[in-house]
Amino acid sequence: MGQRSPLVTLAATAVGLVVLLVVDSTQTGSPAYTSTAPVTSTPTTTAPATTPPPTPTAAPQQTVTPQAQRTIVYAGRTTKREASVAIAVKGDRAVAYVCDGRRLEAWLTGTFTTGQLALRSRTGERLVGRATAKSAVGTFTLRGRTLHFAIDAAGPPAGLYRSASNSRTIGWIVLPDGSEVGVDNDGTPAPAPRLDPASRTASVDGVQVTAQSITGDETF
């Protein structure tokens, strides 16, 4: 056989290398890319729970504590000075005493409503009128006579006083000028003995008696 040309041999070798490269590339594929990075999930955002506004509640009612009932005492004389009058008012109650300092007297109890006085004695005498913080005006009916009065509020020691026992009742009106008018009634009415307003005591036939300051809510 004849010898091959070196060029032919080189060409054949080059063709073979090309064929081998083509075959290798078709049989050996690049491996698929696998991510090794950890899979992270996007966290679900939960809206913070909202606290509903508190339900409005009615404001607590203020308990109004009633003020202590205040006593007001009115003292003076009837318009024509036939007698003296004292009226003690406390809350919606009232007590009145009318006397001439000798024999005439009457104790009355009743009501004081919206400024109006309505009082009555056990023997039927009546007193009606109206009163403010400073004065009281009205009429008093006794034994068929009607006496009118317009008297002012009076501070201690002026006021209305009473001493009562099974055998006698004594009433005193201490007027704003310090003078006193009263009746001692043990069945036979007579002028009342002198009262000491400071100690609320008086001497009756040598016996000391104690008087009560009338405030207006008493019942006789």
* Residue 1 within any structural domain of the chain: no
Residue 49: the pLDDT is 52
- Indicate whether this model's pTM tops 0.85: no
Asked, for residue 6, whether it belongs to a domain, the answer is: no
Q: Would 51 be classed as within a structural domain?
A: no
Strand partners, 85: 76, 98
Query: pLDDT grade, residue 10 (50/70/90)?
Result: very low
Q: Are strands 145-153 and 71-77 parallel, antiparallel or unpaired?
A: antiparallel
Q: Let me know if residue 89 belongs to a domain.
A: yes
Residue 15 reports pLDDT greater than 80: no
Q: Mean pLDDT throughout 164-174?
A: 96
Taking 70 as the threshold, does the pLDDT of residue 110 lie above it? yes
In a domain, 108, yes or no: yes
Mean pLDDT score of the chain, rounded to an integer? 80
Domain-located, residue 145: yes
Domain of residue 166: give its range: 71-213
Q: Is residue 165 part of a domain?
A: yes
Q: How confident is the model at residue 48 (pLDDT cuts 50, 70, 90)?
A: low
Round to whole Å and give the CA distance between 76 and 130.
15
CA angle 99, 76, 125 (to 5 degrees): 40
Domain count, the chain: 1
